[in-house]
Structure 1
Amino acid sequence: MTSDTLSPAPAPRVRTRRSWTKFKAWIFEAPVLQVLVVVALATWLVIAIPAIANPRSVTSILVITSLLALAAMGQTLVVILGGLDLAAPGYILFGAFMATNVAGKLGVPALVAVLITIVACGGIGAAIGWICHRFAVQPLVVTLGTGAAITGATLFLADGDYSSAPPQALRSLASLRGTTFGLQFPPIILIVLLCGVGMWIFLNRTAAGRRFHATGVNFRAARLTRIRTSFVWTLVFAASGALAGVAGIFIASYGSGWSQTIGEPYLFSGLAAVLVGGTIFGSIRGSYTRTLLGALTLTLLSTIIVSNGLSEAQSRIIFGIIILAVVSLYGRERHVRDRF
């Protein structure tokens, strides 16, 4: 008899365990759960409100999703790095101020206002990243104080003028009636999709993306491999500030105005979009694709909540429960630095 004949067949329990391990790994690798949740929520919304299945309503949902995803883009990078950027509301407020009071009221060209926002918010973010890395300070503390300072400075510059509106050149980019290459959808949707493609290429197809992931997984080990971790931290927080500032420009353009609290809702909802998408602090599997799905999930869920007459407090409770559920699921995966 051959050795193959004598070897026992694998036990059914072992096969089941291996199959479950492969299935769980697949769930973590690809945003399968997020896609299923989006499909389920969209189906629920159409069944509950059949009238919402029209181009106008769909466009509105996609625009709101795009604004949230853009506001959460920089936060996605910071979370993958293992930090948290609480200065986002300040950046968004400053961007809204540049769109309304500078470009709208003073007549500064829209492109110049965008460039000023990128340089100012990106420069502040770069300083935050360098300080946090150089002095080993928690970003939570530095970004919270800096965000408050940016908010105060912006309100001082505004001098109580909240009546201005962005110029038509900016409003047309986020207007529900806007067109893109003759097609009936606002340019903001295409802009966010292109940003998503660019982010995917950076994170998955470039050496800089690999160095970025390595720094987020374990910056001490990354430093030993001669990765300039201080440069990575500085650049990531600079990108977070610049992207949040640009998001503020689009948010003000969509609403045709601004207020003192225009950026506050996007701190919680932006972080929620990142976490609901499945990106966990220092996770090697974090991606902007997941954030896009998380933003769409929250937008659909918010629409359902509003249609059922729930209050803002009740919606925040629901969002909090969802975040806890997602973090408990993805947070149970053993961290990469503990696998070796």
Structure 2
Amino acid sequence: MLGVVVVWLLITVPGIANLRSASALLIIASLLSLAAMGQTLVVILGGLDLAIPGYVIVGAFVSANLAGGQGWPVPVAFLLTFAVCGGAGAAIGFLCHRLKVEPLMMTLGMGAVLTGGTLFLTNGNYASAPPDFLRGLAGVTSTTFGLPLPPIILIVAVAAVLLWLVLNRTPAGRSLYATGINVRAAKLTRVNTTAVWTLVFAASGALAGIAGMFIASFSSGWAQSIGEPYLFSGLAAVLVGGTTFGSIRGSFTRTVLGALILTGLSTIIVSNGLAEAQSRIIYGVIILIVVALYGRERHVRDRF
């Protein structure tokens, strides 16, 4: 499917073939992949994280207002984002599992708390921008070791490899898949399912928050709605990539593939003058088709 999208993109948007345009597309896909990385783990677990926009806006706030506006050291800004977003996610995962609460509503509430709290702290000040160092990591014209490759692309590529290793080559990865497929069976094999839920939602929050820092850096600023697109498009990237709820098929490499497909499609949509409402309809139809196809495939496989 990615090959079809690339060919379609080259035919309908001829100017996309130059280096700067290609770099911009890869950056956008990388940011979407990073924002959806934690969501991938949550979907493998069989849940859904609706707090993603809240985590993204926290990261954007820390990047622009604290690291940029108030001159906080960048490492401190990363640690703060990791602690706040990861801590909020950990609380959600722990409470949802121990109290048998659906993560859908609790993550929605946490997202609202984080968004509202961030807006309260800014007092309507969106004028600050991330520091030059962070903007350089996500800049279209930035280079990595002298190569015309923006650092954020390499960062996401390394993260993809590391997460693949964790999911496929470690006991932690096997515990995640086991818990997602059947939590009762996982408990019988002595998997600490509470720890799995806590760590997965903590990772979802922390990764989305870090993504928010880079998203603000790429945009050279932030706004109240900066995190909203990454809930729907992030989930779409996960599902289009082929990760299904509580399935051993799930992986972040699939999400990266889904992000590339959606970035290409969104570029085609914008280039053809379609409105935001029309693009959402197209995304929705794609999700319905893909989920139906994967569901059918799983059903047939289970029968045999």
TM-score by length of 1: 0.87
Structure 1 distance, partners of 2:303, 2:127, is: 56
Is structure 2 residue 255 aligned with structure 1 residue 255? Answer: no
Q: Which amino acid in the other structure matches residue 296 of structure 2?
A: R
Structure 2 distance, partners of 1:242, 1:60, is: 24
8 Å CA contact 1:100–1:258 kept in 2: the answer is: yes
Show the 5 A alignment for 1:143-158.
143-158=107-122
Q: Which amino acid in the other structure matches residue 125 of structure 2?
A: D
Q: Which amino acid in the other structure matches residue 140 of structure 1?
A: L
Residue 332 of structure 1: SS of its match in structure 2?
A: helix
Structure 1 residues 21-59: Cα deviation after superposition (integer angstroms, max 9, x where no partner): xxxxxxxxxxxxxxxx11111111112222211111110
Structure 1 distance, partners of 2:299, 2:112, is: 33
Q: Which runs of 5+ in 1 are unaligned?
A: 1-36
Q: Which runs of 5+ in 2 are unaligned?
A: none
- How far the C-alpha of 1:333 sits from its partner, in A, is 3.7
Structure 1 distance, partners of 2:81, 2:260, is: 26
Distance change (3 Å), C-alpha of 1:126 and 1:167: same
Structure 1 distance, partners of 2:65, 2:17, is: 37
TM-score by length of 2: 0.98
Distance change (3 Å), C-alpha of 1:156 and 1:80: same
Deviates more, 1:327-336 or 1:203-212: 327-336
Match of 1:315 among 256, 279, 284: 279
Structure 1 residues 171-219: Cα deviation after superposition (integer angstroms, max 9, x where no partner): 0000001110111121000000000000110111111111110000001
Structure 2 distance, partners of 1:203, 1:119, is: 23
8 Å CA contact 1:283–1:335 kept in 2: the answer is: no
Match of 2:175 among 181, 202, 211: 211
What is the total number of aligned residue pairs between the two structures?
Answer: 303
8 Å CA contact 1:129–1:238 kept in 2: the answer is: yes
Q: Which amino acid in the other structure matches residue 185 of structure 2?
A: A
* Identity %, equivalent residues: 68
Residue 296 of structure 2: SS of its match in structure 1?
A: coil
Structure 1 residues 113-164: Cα deviation after superposition (integer angstroms, max 9, x where no partner): 0110001100110000000000000000100011001111000111111000
Aligned residue number for residue 4 of structure 2: 40
Give the root-mean-square deviation of aligned CA atoms: 1.3
Structure 1 residues 90-135: Cα deviation after superposition (integer angstroms, max 9, x where no partner): 0000000000000001100111101100011001100000000000
Q: Which amino acid in the other structure matches residue 325 of structure 1?
A: I
Structure 1 distance, partners of 2:82, 2:14, is: 41
Is structure 2 residue 141 aligned with structure 1 residue 168? Answer: no
Is structure 2 residue 240 aligned with structure 1 residue 267? Answer: no
Is structure 2 residue 130 aligned with structure 1 residue 130? Answer: no
Structure 2 distance, partners of 1:334, 1:302, is: 29
Aligned residue number for residue 139 of structure 1: 103
Q: Which amino acid in the other structure matches residue 176 of structure 2?
A: F
Aligned residue number for residue 17 of structure 1: none
8 Å CA contact 1:175–1:254 kept in 2: the answer is: yes
Structure 1 distance, partners of 2:289, 2:219, is: 32
Aligned residue number for residue 301 of structure 1: 265
Aligned residue number for residue 37 of structure 2: 73
Structure 1 distance, partners of 2:172, 2:35, is: 23
